Amino acid sequence: MDSRTNLYGLIGHPIQHSLSPEFQNKLIELFNINAAYLAFNVEKDQFENIKNTIKTLNIKGLNVTVPYKETIIPYLDKIDESANRIGAVNTIEYIDGQLIGYNTDAFGFIRMLKELNVNIDNHKAVVLGAGGAAKAIIYALEKLGIDDIMLCNRTIEKADRLLEKFNFKNKKISSLQDFQIEDDMLIINTTSLGLDENESPVVISKSVKNTILIDIIYNPFETKLIKDAKINGIYAVNGLPMLIYQGIESFKIWHKQIENPFIYYDNLYDNLLRKLVD
């Protein structure tokens, strides 16, 4: 590092579980870029200074995680079309004196489904949670042509307001405690319940047919929700592929001169998998 090293990073709270610095710095190394990527734990009472901080320190790019994906929007100079439609930002580019917001979560989710070769045809989508990550997932499901969706959240009113923005043939709202697993569901957990290995957003205690469960939490590698699903014979995976794909897409935004950073996906996945499992 020297005076010409460009700074990138991640802002959120809490932040210690994140693996983004691991693979972002690996990409920086692989492409021999004079840059560094750091994780910044930003307390809520400090957040109002975020715009001046980014510009003062000349931070070239940031990822944004819980709980700031929606909170960050008023601090930006502009946001791209997909981030505006989603209503959440997870990537910021600082260029030509402006902070520009993007959302790469939806891209990461869609690319993950393709990577896992998951067939979601004729499935009813069930999204757990109604925060910034849920918005990106719902946007992705709409793009994928899902007809039926159920949004489960602790606050029914918040879930109802969120689904109003999207076009599905059939919409349903439910509380998390009233959720009942059924056949032919595509269940995506976007809540933070699961970061504690003893917590789960919903109860899964029976076997069903043709149901898929995705918990976008990746650390711990197997949450209680995933473990409970597997015990009952349900196909269940975590969000590690989504993390990597959305992160590589952010890397592309910041480093437009790099033609295809996705060639290193397997390398990044294997490195992170070893770190999580060891």
C-alpha span between 168 and 153 (Å, rounded): 18
Q: At what angle do helices 240-254 and 20-30 cross, to 10 degrees?
A: 50
Confidence of residue 195 (pLDDT cuts 50, 70, 90): confident
Mean pLDDT of 236-256: 97
Q: 72-109 pLDDT, tens per residue? A: 999 999 999 999 999 999 999 999 999 999 999 999 99
- Give the Cα separation of 188 and 112 in Å (integer): 13
Q: Top-level CATH class of 6-103+241-277? A: alpha beta
Print burial letters for 208-238: b (CB count within 10 Å at least 16), e (below 16).
beebbbbbbbbbbebbbbbebbeebebebbb
Architecture of domain 106-238: 3-Layer(aba) Sandwich (3.40)
C-alpha triplet 261, 263, 267: angle, nearest 5°: 105
pLDDT of residue 278: 76
d(CA 170, CA 10): 36
What confidence tier does 17 reach under pLDDT thresholds 50, 70, 90?
A: confident
Every domain range in the chain assigned CATH 3.40.50.10860: 6-103+241-277
pLDDT at 103: 98
Q: Which residues are catalytic?
A: 69
The C-alpha atoms of residue 225 and residue 163 are separated, in whole angstroms, by 24
List residues bridging with 124 in a β-sheet: 185
Position 242 pLDDT exceeds 80: yes
Q: Where are the alpha helices (DSSP H) in the chain?
A: 20-30, 50-57, 81-86, 105-116, 132-143, 156-163, 224-231, 240-254, 265-277
- Looking only at the bridges linking them, the beta strands covering 212-215 and 124-128 are unpaired
Q: Are 253 and 228 in contact (CB under 8 A)?
A: no
In the predicted model, what is the mean pLDDT of the chain? Answer: 96
What percent of the chain is modeled with pLDDT above 90? 94
Whole-model pTM: value is 0.95
pLDDT, tens digit, 9 for 90 and up, residues 202-212: 999 999 999 99
Contact of 129 with 201, CB cutoff 8 Å: yes
